[in-house]
Amino acid sequence: MTSPKITLREVPPRTVWALEQAGVHPLLARLFAARGVRSPDELDDGLARLLPPTELLGTQVAARFLADAIAANKRVCVVADYDCDGATACTVALRGLKLLGARADSLHYVVPDRAVHGYGLTPAIVDLAMQKKPDVLLTVDNGIASLAGVAHARALGLAVVVTDHHLPAKEDDLIVLPDATVIVNPNQPGCGFASKNLAGVGVMFYVLLALRTELRERGVFTPENQPRLDTLLDLVALGTVADVVKLDANNRRLVAQGLKRIRSGKMQPGVAALFTAAGRDAKRASGFDFGFALGPRINAAGRLSDMSLGIECLLTDDPARASELAQMLDGINRERRDVESGMREQAEAMLDTLMPEGDAPPALAIYDPEFHEGVVGIVASRLKDRVHRPTFVFALGQDGFLKGSGRSILGFHLRDALDLVSKRHPGVLKKFGGHAMAAGCTLAEEDFDTFDTAFQQVASEWLDAATLSRTLMSDGPLPAQYFNLETVRSLDAQVWGQAFEAPVFSDEVEVISQRLVGEKHLKLAVRHAGAVRDAIWFGHSEPVGNRVTLAYQLRVDEYNGQQRLQMIVEAAR
């Protein structure tokens, strides 16, 4: 892995002062200001501060339609996606519609099999859904680019409500929307919703908020007896963090509210069971738990097995059943880690042949017939992190085509790159879609070399030396008076994530001792601000000099009931 350059975040002093005057802790004021917070209002995580559903285009039309459907006892089939966002969005839709009056026997769902059906509302998924005898298809976390699937559903006489957050399809550089009954998506043309970063589960939650308002106006509920939709916020928070969408102020509010509920013991039985299966303490729940403990266990079902396992875990109200399903998901996740580990070793060996001198090409495309389609995205992410290059990893799908998943670096829009490849080489990409940092595509095995060359060509044109240089953003030195357990607790209580990253401090230290533990982790004792501190650099085995600047996160290490501070090293200079 190339060593990153440690770059200090800019901190606007006037903003820090204003936040401090509003009562924000000085350290937090500095951290928030460096992440773009400009006023104390942005830090108010109360539900009343959420952007109103009326500003999200299509919610009111969807609310009227769904209110009519509930009144007429129409059969609704939710069409889910096979990742954590899709699973939580499906669960929120089914639980929310039931709360708002839909009969349980009128609610159904289908979820694609990644290997068999592919992504989105395809004609094949419509046919699968028809087995439920629906009147309405309600997509969650998909559908905005499903032109053929929506057309097929409408031809069969179904109404289609699309709720999604992905970018629409383009034909000849023109945006094309599916012929749905109604579309709710902050990224559709004409939508002025201020948060374009809602996850699929967030979009569905907003539809439910609008539906509740519509039912209230129809006299079905009063403000006093209306259902509590905040009971779904643990699911909204989980799906939002797991989908790695930008945590803008609105998303941070959704996540903060979900975390508060979980920490106070208010959560779905499936969420509680997943915390137990992952060995995490729900009373101290954090965004880290969503992204690295719960989310991967749900995602594993969609990668290696059947995502309905994940959805059923989140849907059940029986704690014993939830525990059983969570343990199954934990086992599938262990299998996923084994598959991923083997694939990653194989891919890294291929990397060594692609870059014998250690210099990576401007972009990478890796394929081996033995690769597993379910984990290509994870392996692409690992390789991208290692070489800091846009990376695609391909596996052979059951239909005989290569299925690729890509991950990108800042400054390189992956979906736009695929679009350019498709224009320069018509017919090579059978399907493609995604967004700036992650995308997917399908191509014939014989076209892999053409794609590889074309993808590298786009990267060589778009990327410069600055973009290709790995940079680690640091919050600078941590004052000695904040090097304590209270600081860690205060930081852990905040919502950190994509585009609102957890703090990384950087200090010059004297290295007193260093040794390898577990054969691949560097354990250090360093002198910092006159005191000796513990530090560990996971996955790094090369020794460092006697005086270095360490970039690190501050964590609490618990062992035999004892708590001690530890610097988790990210980089050294």
Tokens of 501: 């990253």
CA-nearest of 362, 416, 373 to 396 is 373
Distance CA 271, CA 314 (A): 7
Alpha-carbon distance of 81 to 200, in angstroms, equals: 10
Contact 501, 35 (CB under 8 A): yes
The C-alpha atoms of residue 210 and residue 182 are separated, in whole angstroms, by 14
Nearest in space to 298 (alpha carbons), one of 265, 263, 322: 322
Query: Which single residue is written with the structure tokens 């054969």?
Result: 519
- Altogether, the residues listed in the chain come to a count of 573
Q: Which of 526, 509, 510 is nearest to 565 (CA)?
A: 526
What domains lie within the chain, and their CATH numbers? 5-43+471-572 (2.40.50.460), 47-332 (3.90.1640.30), 343-468 (3.10.310.30)
Residue 29 has, within 13 A of its CA and on its CB side, a CA count of 17
What global pTM score does this model have? 0.94
Three-state SS across 230-254?
Answer: HHHHHHHHHHHHHCCCCCCHHHHHH
Tokens of 342: 């083997």
Sign of the four-CA dihedral 56, 122, 140, 158: positive
Q: What is the pLDDT of residue 534?
A: 95
d(CA 397, CA 133): 30
Amino acid 34: pLDDT: 98
Distances (CA, A) of 160 to 104, 142, 170, 395, 539: 20, 12, 20, 32, 48
Residue 412: the pLDDT is 95
Cβ pair 406, 396 in contact under 8 A: no
Mean pLDDT, contiguous 10-residue spans, the chain (573 residues): 84 97 97 96 95 98 98 98 96 98 98 84 96 98 96 98 93 92 98 97 98 98 96 98 94 98 98 98 95 96 93 98 98 95 92 77 94 94 93 95 95 94 96 88 97 97 91 96 95 94 97 92 94 94 94 90 92 93
The Cα 261–Cα 231 span in angstroms is 8
> 337: exposed, middle or buried (C-beta count within 10 Å: 0-12, 13-18, 19+)?
middle
What tokens does 47 get? 């539900």
d(Cα 556, Cα 573) in Å, to the nearest integer? 24
Tokens in use for 244? 């790695």
Q: 447 Cβ partners below 8 Å, 6+ apart?
A: 428
336 membership: H or E segment, kind and range: helix 319-354
Q: Tokens for 64, please give them.
A: 């009227």
Angle between helices 308-315 and 295-304 (to 10 degrees): 140
3-class SS of residue 321: helix
User: How many other CB atoms sit within 10 Å of the CB of residue 169?
Assistant: 15
pLDDT for the residue 114: 80
